[in-house]
Structure 1
Amino acid sequence: MAPAALFFGFFAAFPLVLVVYLSFTSWEGIGDPTLVGVDNWVRLFGDSRVLDVIGTTLLLVVLGWATQTPIALLLGVWAAGQQRNRAILSSIFFLPLLLSTAAIALMFNRLFDPYFGLAAEFGPFQNILGTGPGALGAILFVTGWQFIPFHMLLYQAAARNIPKVLYQAALMDGASGFQQFRHITLPQLKNTVITSSTIMIVGSLTYFETILLLTNGGPGTATYTVPFEMYIRGFRSFEFGYASAIATVLVVVATAVSLVIVKFSGFTKMRSTLEGM
């Protein structure tokens, strides 16, 4: 365990402790940090802009989960079947996950360009990134396009482990395909839904590269998220102490969300769905 513990301590625990320390300082990135007590925290909880940013972040998290989960689940169940050309199509669907996040964001930024991209062909909807709802929709589409394949793979693996005897018994009882999906497939995928949702929600809280390269937080501040606000405060305004306070809040929120999901989903009490088979 020593190598893993050292790796975690050096690349996770130590930076986290350092960020918490910096949140109580004033530092411009040069020279020594100056301790300022809880000034950054008082400023943070009274900053209306941060509250707006948190609202935008939560909106992206909720909409991202609500759109990606059903699509990934349906694609995963389909990919676990025996359809013709299933393997080839599944491989094509998986390709976006192999691409760099930066490359994907830049590609769609060019495609959504109102003058030279494909969006220029769509008439009144050409300036997609020029409006708040359009920019948020673009972020949801791009992140979904990239990460749905990963969750599809989780559901595909889980669906393949569902005992065939359950479907055979349901078929003998006259159950339709929809009834089999509702009463067999979905209950058997409960554990996977919780696991996928946890990864998806916590990941959505940390979206940064896509927003930086696709919308740059615009139009205005319509697509500012907590990680992007942290970047702006730290690397553009050189308020590293205040940025560290924002980063600490992000860590606390992400950890709390994970614990809440684990607590109320019954994750710690889960048992294999194959027991008794």
Structure 2
Amino acid sequence: MSTVSRAGRPGFVWVAPAVTFFGLFALLPMLAVVYLSFTVYDGLNPPRWTGLDNWTRLTADPLFVESLRLSFGLTFASWVLQTAVALPLGVWLAGRPRSRAVLAALFFVPLLMSSAAIAVLWGTLLDPNFGLASVLGPLIGIGDGNIIGDGRYAFAAVILVIGWQYMPFHTLLYQAAARAIPAQLYEAALIDGASRWRTFRSITVPQLRDTIITSGVLIVVGSMTTFEVVLILTDGGPGTATRILPLHMYLQGFRSFDMGYASALAVVLLLLGTALSLLIARVTGYRKMTSQREGM
């Protein structure tokens, strides 16, 4: 009788906990931020409605334009770098030799570290006084080794550090997906005399299409919202060379105590992240994903 009773429950009963959790901890805060974006609020006194003042201020804020450009640059560079490294490395680690398992264990160490720990670690390594940068700097044309203190190289350093942090995760995605590819496909390619490059291009990459799209969405959303590493490593400097949009929002809200304007920046960030994710889903056909093992 209890089984029948459970089976007869309306569908909303089963989703009620998840919907409640999402409403309390995601939807309500988002609505609150949207409201604050139309107010002047310093975090202490009650918000005061000002209409579209914060939104018109966006168009006149040169730091907003610069931070937006840097965020797009970080997103694109992260996608290119992390995909170019994680995809072939994940496929290679999907092999069976024990040496690959040992290398994989070492490579996945950054997954165990927090963003703050990674930023502190690389801040020490890139210190021009006693870090490795003082040795490596002259070798790459930076005489004093002040990589994160030079506006020409700081942004590239941030991209590399963030890539080092997240590439193991995406490598793990590709490794798992590569191991799920049917061995019959590779056996047929071997019989046909296909080279390794042709096999990788014609079998492995098409079979990993859905994983590539999923990884790309995660990289885009993550790059548009990350700021802890930049905050600790460069604090947006030198000058504004690494002041990406999430960091600009944080500095406006928690250092300038301009919560209203910071809320407007947060809404822009939310809209951009959502729009980019939907664009990727639309262009790549993410919503039409089907099994690639039908008929196997």
Which TM-score applies when normalising by structure 1? 0.98
Supply the distance in 1 between the matched residues of 2:115 and 2:158 (Cα, whole angstroms): 12
Q: Match for 1:14 among 28, 33, 48? A: 28
Q: Which residue of 2 aligns with 1:164?
A: 183
- 1:17 Cα deviation from its structure 2 partner: 0.4
In 2, distance between residues paired with 1:151 and 1:194?
A: 11
Matched residue, 2:209: 190
Q: What are the within-5 Å matches in structure 2 for residues 59-138 of structure 1?
A: 59-122=73-136, 123=138, 124-125=141-142, 126-138=145-157
Secondary structure class of the residue paired with 2:153: helix
User: Matched residues, percent identical?
Assistant: 52
Q: 2:70 is matched with which residue: 48, 51, 56?
A: 56
* Aligned position for 1:30: 44
Alpha-carbon shift at residue 131 of structure 1 (Å)? 1.5
Aligned with residue 233 of structure 2, among 214, 228, 233: 214
* Superposed displacement of residue 269, structure 1: 1.2
Q: Distance in 2 between matches of 1:133 and 1:163?
A: 47
1:253 counterpart (254, 265, 272): 272
Which among 199, 204, 209 is matched to residue 180 of structure 1? Answer: 199
Q: CA deviation at 1:64?
A: 0.8
2:160 is matched with 141
Please list the CA deviations of residues 77-125 of structure 1 after superposition, one character each: whole Å capped at 9, or x if unmatched: 0111123412121111111011010000011011101111111112252
Corresponding position of 1:235: 254
Q: What SS does the aligned partner of 1:205 have?
A: helix
Superposed displacement of residue 129, structure 1: 0.6
Supply the AA of the counterpart residue of 2:198.
Q
Q: Distance in 2 between matches of 1:262 and 1:227?
A: 23
Q: Which amino acid aligns with 1:226?
A: L
Deviation (angstroms), 1:165: 0.5
1:45: Cα distance to partner?
2.1
AA partner of residue 51 (structure 1): V
Give the superposition deviation at 1:5.
1.6
Give the CA deviation at 1:41: 0.4
- How many angstroms apart in 1 are the aligned matches of 2:83 and 2:132? 27
Matched AA of 2:66? D
Structure 1, unpaired ranges of 5+: none
Report how many aligned residue pairs link the two structures.
277
Question: Aligned with 1:31: secondary structure?
Answer: coil
Please report how far the alpha carbon of residue 26 of structure 1 lies from its aligned counterpart in structure 2 after TM superposition.
0.3
Alignment RMSD (CA, Å): 1.0
Instruction: Give ranges in structure 2 of 5+ residues lacking alignment.
Output: 1-14
State the distance in 2 between where 1:46 and 1:272 align: 49
Runs in 1 of length 4+ with deviation above 2 angstroms? Answer: 122-125
- Output the amino acid matched with 1:177: R
